[in-house]
Amino acid sequence: MSLRRFVILLTVACSACGPDACGPDLPPGSEGHPLQVRLIASGPPEAAEAMARELEPYLERELSIEVRVAVNDSAAELVDGFAYSEVHVAFLNTFAYLVAHKWGGADAGLCLRFRSGRCVYQGGIVVRADSGITAPEDLNGKKFAFKDPYATSGYLLALQYLDSHSITPASTAFAGSYHAVVEGVYDGTYDAGAVYADRDTDGTLTDARSELTATHADAAQRLSLLAETGEIPSGPVAFDSRLPSELRDRVVAALLKWGESDRGRETLSLVYGARGLAPSQDEDYMQVRRTVARLGQSVERLVPDGGGLVIRERLYDMNDDLP
């Protein structure tokens, strides 16, 4: 049974049995029914856990309501959480947001602002400097690593790049994290991998190779960036569309205030590589939807081991949302 059909049947059942059949309708933030805020770790998981411990008491003080902030490893869990109103606010990556909006009723309210001062970042493809891979066509027949099926720079932008250059890897894999992608390329497990990249206002490029420098001093020299795969809107802070507008506005104001503080900027930089937060809306992500719609028919060729299920089964009908 599809998620949508299940939700409809559940709603009908609750309505038929009376207002208390499926539990009291308590507003988020009330006693015993906290506002549920979720993070997805982009960098070190311990940094995201520290952010959760910092953000929870801050939001409780600012909002004067009960708040719970936790870290999720799975974007799929957050999509389901939004669908059942078990998650009210979440820091999502761009690709996961498309799914959460389509299937879980999530709406963008804020976005991560990066070094350029804008809510955009870039993707890249990293290779070993001594691999002999110096042009896009050299990736044909090579072992390629993505981050995960919900990643944007670590999956979607790389798919678009491979497709536009008619590249077919010998094998593909989901490494699970950007650290694992670059480490796998470093030690030869993969020939190339999809990573994030971000340009500063002076044009300086920072990318996922920096995640290895603490343990591999020669990472910047041993790995090279073969290509930049494009620019994309940064991941949003998404809100359950059923959240009362007054509460949503207060949460937005509190998060913007935190993001402008020294501590907030430091935390956002450590966890997401961001410099702050800024207002956003769903329309900001139409470009990404168009990219997904174009890629739908190419995923099976590029990721034959089934990694494209996210696009094929959940996002291939993204055309329905295009103007």
HSE toward the beta carbon, residue 72, CA cutoff 13 A: 24
Given a contact cutoff of 8 angstroms between Cβ atoms, the answer to whether 196 and 121 are in contact is: yes
Task: Verify that 200 and 135 share a domain, yes or no.
Answer: yes
Q: Give me the pLDDT at residue 205, please.
A: 56
pLDDT (0 to 100) of residue 141 = 96
| Structural domains in the chain (count) | 2
Confidence of residue 178 (pLDDT cuts 50, 70, 90): confident
CATH number at residue 34: 3.40.190.10
291 belongs to a structural domain: no
**For the chain, what is the mean pLDDT?**
82
Residue 172 counted as domain residue? yes
Per-residue confidence at 43, pLDDT binned at 50, 70, 90? low
**227 and 248 inside one domain:** no
Among 72-86, 117-131, 132-146, 170-184, top mean pLDDT goes to: 132-146
Cα atoms found within 13 Å of the Cα of residue 276, Cβ hemisphere only: 11
d(CA 315, CA 9): 23
Domain region containing 66:
14-117+234-280
pLDDT tens for residues 112-162?
998 778 898 888 999 999 999 999 999 999 999 999 887 888 988 898 899
The pLDDT of residue 212 is 81
What does the pLDDT read at residue 292?
77
Q: What Cα–Cα distance (Å) separates residue 13 from each residue in 4, 17, 19, 107, 317?
A: 14, 6, 11, 27, 29
Supply the Cα-derived Rg of the chain in whole angstroms.
Answer: 20
Please report, in angstroms and rounded to a whole number, the separation of the first and last CA atoms in the chain. 29
* 304/276 same-domain check: no
For residues 314 and 198, the model is more confident at: 198
Give the residue carrying structure tokens 């420098």: 213
pTM of the model: 0.74
Q: Are residues 198 and 240 in the same domain?
A: no
- Same domain, yes or no: 58 and 110: yes
Residues 90, 40 share a domain: yes
Instruction: State the pLDDT confidence band at 208, using cuts at 50, 70 and 90.
Output: confident
